[in-house]
Amino acid sequence: MAETIKINLPEGQVEVVPKGTTPLALLQKLNSRLSEQAVVAKTNGDVIDLDAPLERDTDLRFLTTDDPEGLFVFRHSSAHLLAAAVLELFPEVKLGIGPPTEQGFFYEFQREQAFTPEDLEKIEKKMAELRDADLPNRRRWLPRAEAMKLYRDQQQLFKCELVEEKSQGDQVSFYTTGEFIDFCLGPHIPSTGRIRAFKLLNVSGAYWKGVEGNPQLQRIYGTAFPSQAQLDDFLHKLEEAKRRDHRRLGPELGLFSVEEEAGPGLVFWHPKGGIVRHLMENWLRDELLRRGYQLVYTPHAMRIDLWKTSGHLDYYRENMFPAMEGEHVAYQLKPMNCPGHILIYKAGLRSYRELPLRLAELGTVYRYERGGVIHGLLRVRGFTQDDAHIFCTPDQIEAEIAACVDFAFAVLKTFGFEGYEVELSVRDPAHPQNYAGKIEDWDRAEAALAGTLERLKIPFKRMLGEAVFYGPKIDVKLIDAIGRPWQLTTVQFDFNLPERFNLHYIGPDGAQHRPVMVHRALLGSVERFFGILIEHYAGAFPVWLAPIQVAVLPVSEKAADYARQVYERLRAGGFRVELDSRNEKLQAKIRDAQLQKIPFMLVCGKKEAEAGTVSVRSRSKGDLGPRPLADFEAELAGLVASRAPHE
């Protein structure tokens, strides 16, 4: 009798099958609805091919493209399909790597000529042919020497390098898709026929292994989905994201720029961005004062010893600008505001009566982000955090956390965001050596954070092992107009810095006690938040934030005086107005105001001048007809006062 093995399937089902049975055979035996959908199987924590023989008793689960791991494999196989097509069309190319990515996949090729959009079309056609041929993806093992010879004969030298570095043991794993063969650890979907919907998106240059100075390769990026509807949806979102890209809108709308002459990741706020920042910061400062914070300002450069005490030189050095040599001592540009606020706390003897002490600063910090990760306003080298540090007693923690969370929600509401996600990052008790502070403190802080969220009925995800080494934290992500999450608010406990800086307060018992410290930033950074706002509104800011709220458009020279009066009156009323007195056709003026996303255009002609009215056009609703200027003014004032997200 053949040897049998026991397979534990989900929901308690157990199957006894001959040793060497493949997941695919098992699927057929079970006659499961998954037969059509499964792309790979997962056993004992490993994702494996559906035709990999099972050799021992094990658990087994079938993955479809609905599982992130299944989708990942599906896209990895799509990358192989791409390489197979490219090799058929351009047999001279040299292959680099071809992994799946967050949103799709890419494959690297070395080729003298650049791939053109027409090339991509041809490649897509060839991919479709190979897909329709439903070629199986088969695993094959080759002895190491044979593997090297195979690639040497084909002059695939990058692949030789990969085999040398990455293969383990004497046998080297390959996958074949029709004629195409690739050094690859897999796993893969059973055959190309499943790749129903795919699209090549773009080509970009990359150094081999990402190392500058290495040969230049071309990366062809694409994405793939199990259905056309899913692909269409993805492509639509991609278009929307492009339309909203703050890196394009920033210069187009005169909001900000990054100047190569000054350096990467350093932001210049132009007048129209400057006014939005002024409004954001004013709202924030007023709220801080109203909520019992005190505003402070701290220096941008401080002695390097301070950063030794804080631990930044040990734990954070790679993110810091190099130190500046002074006459006798070195100074450090600040990457964080915490040590500055701590020095203010330490400047006097603190009593429990002063706690909680909430020190807030719109503090500009500098971090040496690597060139490759700098991105518009989202990852920069100089930025202003809306930072605060709360020094409190352990029994004040809960109330402070609740207040921070409430403040965070006020930010979301004020700036017009509805959706959010909350994450609670806690320590991994299996690795106590990774965390500073006493276990009791951690238990208490984690319970306080979770308890507060539960009491406020805020749903949250618990992120095990995601806490920073000095304490647990709450993160709030906002969801923008097209469903993308953005990390925003963070509220972090800290048991470490009060210890390092030896902070005290005098308790009611007259003795010295250690305060607890909370770091919190609501917007995160003003720059980043501005970038998110631009994308959320696609540059069409709500009336209260719009750099220009009204464009006054005289129809002709004859209406110029009246238009100027309208302009002056709105200006005097405290509104941000622009008078377009250029010698242009009205249509051109409307088009330009529309492109600048100005909420209202007031058309002033002879008729309006005689009646004392304005013809109102809205950027979103078009022509709204004439009305008395006073009525329009009142309506505008209402929109500003209520901070309405849409007019």
- What backbone phi and psi angles, to 5 degrees, belong to 625? 85, 175
Smallest gap from Cβ 301 to Zn ion, in A, equals 17
Q: Considering beta carbons, is residue 184 or 543 the nearer one to Zn ion? A: 184
Side-chain-side CA neighbours of residue 120 (13 Å): 18
Instruction: Check residue 617 for interaction with Zn ion (CB under 5 A).
Output: no
Active-site annotation holder among 246, 381, 389, 617: 389
Contact 109, 218 (CB under 8 A): yes
Burial of 439 (C-beta count, 10 Å sphere; 0-12/13-18/19+):
exposed
Q: Considering beta carbons, is residue 256 or 307 the nearer one to Zn ion? A: 307
Angle between helices 439-455 and 397-414 (to 10 degrees): 50
- What backbone phi and psi angles, to 5 degrees, belong to 59? -90, 155
Q: Considering beta carbons, is residue 339 or 542 the nearer one to Zn ion? A: 339
Active-site annotation holder among 182, 312, 332, 338: 338
Q: How many CB atoms lie within 10 A of CB 455?
A: 11
Smallest gap from Cβ 447 to Zn ion, in A, equals 22
Contact 200, 221 (CB under 8 A): yes
Question: Which residues from 302-341 bind Zn ion, rule CB under 5 A?
Answer: 338
Instruction: Check residue 38 for interaction with Zn ion (CB under 5 A).
Output: no
Smallest gap from Cβ 386 to Zn ion, in A, equals 12
- Identify whether 67 is a catalytic site residue: no
Smallest gap from Cβ 396 to Zn ion, in A, equals 18
Side-chain-side CA neighbours of residue 45 (13 Å): 0
- Identify whether 473 is a catalytic site residue: yes
Contact 283, 414 (CB under 8 A): yes
Smallest gap from Cβ 235 to Zn ion, in A, equals 25
- Identify whether 594 is a catalytic site residue: no
Q: How far apart are CA 517 and CA 482, in angstroms?
A: 36
Candidate list 27, 184, 220, 546; residue touching Zn ion; CB under 5 A? 184
Alpha carbon 186 to its chain's center = 29
Q: Considering beta carbons, is residue 96 or 554 the nearer one to Zn ion? A: 96
Active-site annotation holder among 119, 182, 387, 494: 387
Piece of 429-437, 500-508, 512-520, 627-635 that binds Zn ion (CB under 5 A): 512-520
Instruction: Check residue 519 for interaction with Zn ion (CB under 5 A).
Output: yes
- Identify whether 404 is a catalytic site residue: no
Q: Considering beta carbons, is residue 367 or 519 the nearer one to Zn ion? A: 519
Burial of 45 (C-beta count, 10 Å sphere; 0-12/13-18/19+):
exposed
Q: What secondary structure letter does DSSP report for 468? A: B
Active-site annotation holder among 385, 396, 492, 549: 385
Amino acid at 420: Y
Residues in the chain: 647
- List the beta bridge partners of residue 107: 220
Question: Which residues from 475-494 bind Zn ion, rule CB under 5 A?
Answer: none
Active-site annotation holder among 350, 473, 520, 617: 473
Smallest gap from Cβ 87 to Zn ion, in A, equals 14
Report, as residue numbers or ranges, the catalytic residues. 338, 367, 385, 387, 389, 473, 519
- Footprint of Zn ion (CB under 5 A): 184, 338, 519
